[in-house]
Amino acid sequence: MMREFTCIICPNGCEIRAEIEEKEGGAVEIRSIEGATCKKGNAYVEQELKDPQRNIATSVLVKGGILPLASVRLTAPIPKGRIFDAMAEIRKCTLTAPVASGTVVIHKLLGYDTDVIVTKDIPESTET
Give the pLDDT band of residue 36 (cuts 50, 70, 90): very high
Q: What is the pLDDT of residues 111-126, one digit of tens each?
A: 999 999 999 999 999 8
What average pLDDT does this structure show over 84-91? 98
Q: Which letter does DSSP use for residue 123 in this model?
A: P
Do 4 and 24 form a contact (C-beta atoms < 8 A)?
no
- Domain residue ranges of the chain, discontinuous segments joined by +: 2-51, 57-118
CATH of domain 57-118: 3.10.530.10
Check whether 128 has a pLDDT greater than 70: no
pLDDT attached to residue 119: 98
pLDDT attached to residue 82: 97
Burial code (b: 16+ CB inside 10 Å, e: under 16) for 86-123 equals: beeebeeeebebebeeebebbeebeeeebbbbbeebbe
User: What's the chain's length in residues?
Assistant: 128
Give the mean pLDDT of the chain: 94
What average pLDDT does this structure show over 38-57? 92
pLDDT attached to residue 26: 78
